[in-house]
Structure 1
């Protein structure tokens, strides 16, 4: 069994149900698909990213164990998102559910060269380009308090296989104002 971290987020109601209930229901959907959930973070309210793009989010993280490959796990996460009304219309747009495979053991996929190209992608290009394949660890996780704060609840000692820093260390590198915006619900 491999360990992975899934980042969960939502900022739109689904059939009148708010994001907190949606996240819990998504965790239940994972369990029904034989995903072993070892730990779930607290739920956090976070400002919409990018700023002004919609209502605030509810975010969380789950540490899981799975015998699925990273690609199979991503496919399952996309199926669950679809069940919860996720439409992939706009990059970084509002969503009923977002399930991101943040890391999978200490794998770097698809390979170090392509990973490095996404890791160092200029900020302007990040808003316009999306990978056509799975990139793990998530190339922006070290920049995002809304990912690292929940992840610190479930995997504080996970070490980034490229950056060599733990979740706790990456979180400490972020501006205090970014961390303060992520508040427990």
Structure 2
């Protein structure tokens, strides 16, 4: 299946669990994100860099009009990277070339320690 179809399925699951997409980055009952899809860069390298370099305050006000992969903020999020260490520590980010292991090592220790299993 394509990344767009997979994302659509993830959104359907969120809806089944009561997710309502009225407020960007608002409270949610369930949040399923598509972080990466192999080594694909979507929509393209230029589009990826445009979103990655957009200041966070501007990201909060607008959403991309299409899927951006890999997730432009994955390298900053311990809650994404720490669990990925368990399943794919050697996966390489298709833009930066960094492995999950390397990205985790660059995170603040407090952020890593704050990630707890459910």
State the TM-score bracket (shorter-chain normalisation): over 0.9
1:140 paired residue number: 73
Q: Distance in 1 between matches of 2:85 and 2:59?
A: 25
Q: Distance in 2 between matches of 1:90 and 1:172?
A: 33
| Consecutive unaligned residues in structure 2, runs of 5 or more | none
Runs of 4 or more above 4 Å deviation: none
Q: Distance in 1 between matches of 2:67 and 2:111?
A: 27
2:109 paired residue number: 176
1:77 aligns with 2:10: yes
1:1-185 to 2 correspondences below 5 Å: 68-185=1-118
TM-score, normalized by length of structure 2?
Answer: 0.95
TM-score, normalized by length of structure 1?
Answer: 0.62
**Per-residue deviation, residues 63-122 of structure 1 (Å, max 9, x unmatched):** xxxxx1111111111111111111001111111111101000100001100100111111
Task: Name the count of aligned residue pairs.
Answer: 118
Which structure: greater strand fraction? 1
SS in 2 for 1:183: coil
Q: Return the offset for 1:123.
A: 2.4
Q: Return the offset for 1:129.
A: 2.0
- Cα RMSD of the aligned pairs, angstroms, is 1.0
